[in-house]
Amino acid sequence: MNGSESGGPVAPRPAPPATSRPAVPRPAAPQYPAGRYHPAEFGYSEVDHDTARRANRGYWDATADDYQAEHGEFLGDADFLWCPEGLREADTHLLGEIRGRTVLEIGCGGAQCARWLVTHGAEVVALDLSAGQLRHARSLSAATGVEVSLVQADAARLPLTDASVDVACSAFGAIPFVADSAVVMREVARVLRPGGRWVFSTTHPMIWSFPDSPGTDGLTVVRSYFDRRAYVERDRFGRATYTETHRTVGDRVRELVAAGLRVLDLIEPEWPAGHDRVWGQWGPVRGRLFPSTSIFVTEKPARSG
């Protein structure tokens, strides 16, 4: 899972020290130890594709080591985790049959999901925008002996031919960070073969309205659900260094339908009993009241006749 992994943004990122986060509504800039990533300012604004791509590539290159160090044990070296709630593909089978299938993972991070897919008989291509994350993917492949075809690429410009994959998936990769996720939906539909599935997890749209906190201080609405401006962090020169975008449930369904995909299911994982791990704004206090993750299960319709 390549989550954007917690101060201002909504997807799972490397967490700041617990003592440094004030209990205030979003936006609240994440605080990082000396020598690491430091946004100078933060807020909400419109962003274009190139700005988001440059910012997030730089961000994930700079924080890949922290992300994998903090979350690597929970993610596993060759496991398919859909979300911080702990939902795994081994239990849900959302992708359908994968043995002997060609599978594309978008926003693979350390390629933990891709390695799990390989061990279950899939032929996998895993791509990510970040060279830093792909460096970890190569290291983990060497350590586990499970090789994956890795590609550095933009999810909005997939370097694959039409109708070349049977299944596409993403566990918190790419979708929350691109400026226009509708473009990604069209690209995935293009490379999928008829009858192929596209399944992705991302932040649940409703949490955009709440403070970025997993505790009781994150239970009060502070922002309009319909404000679609991106969350943007900037450096002292005003350059965007991290962006994250928001789409309503309706927006997301319209993107998928417009791309020619059929929505099969929308999963809102419930917080499991006994699971007490906090990951950014994901945690048991808020998680037991409303969802923080949405998983869209879709397919490209098979050709008739």
The total number of structural domains in the chain stands at 1
Q: What is the CATH number of the domain that holds 209?
A: 3.40.50.150
Q: Using one digit for the tens of pLDDT, what is the confidence trace for 27-51?
A: 344 434 444 566 788 899 999 999 9
Structure tokens at 52: 């988001």
The whole domain housing 135 covers 41-260+283-299
Assigned domain for 145 exists: yes
Element (H, E) at 48: none
- In this structure, is residue 276 part of a structural domain? no
- Residues 14, 64: contact at Cβ < 8 Å? no
In this predicted structure, what is the pLDDT of residue 36?
A: 54
Distance CA 140, CA 136 (A): 6
Has residue 29 been placed in a domain? no
Question: Which of 31-40, 123-132, 185-194 shows the lowest per-residue confidence on average (mean pLDDT)?
Answer: 31-40
Reported as type and span, the H/E element at residue 107 is: none
d(CA 163, CA 27): 41
For the whole model, what pTM was predicted?
A: 0.89
Identify whether 161 is part of a domain: yes
Q: Is residue 19 part of a domain?
A: no
Classify each residue of 114-134 as buried b or exposed e, where b means 16 or more C-beta atoms within 10 Å of its C-beta: bbbbbebebbbbbbbbbebbb
pLDDT reported for residue 204: 96
Neighbours of 105 (CB within 10 A): 29
Confirm whether 214 is domain-assigned.
yes
DSSP lists the bridge partners of residue 192 as 165
Residue 17 lies in a domain: no
Does 207 map to a domain? yes
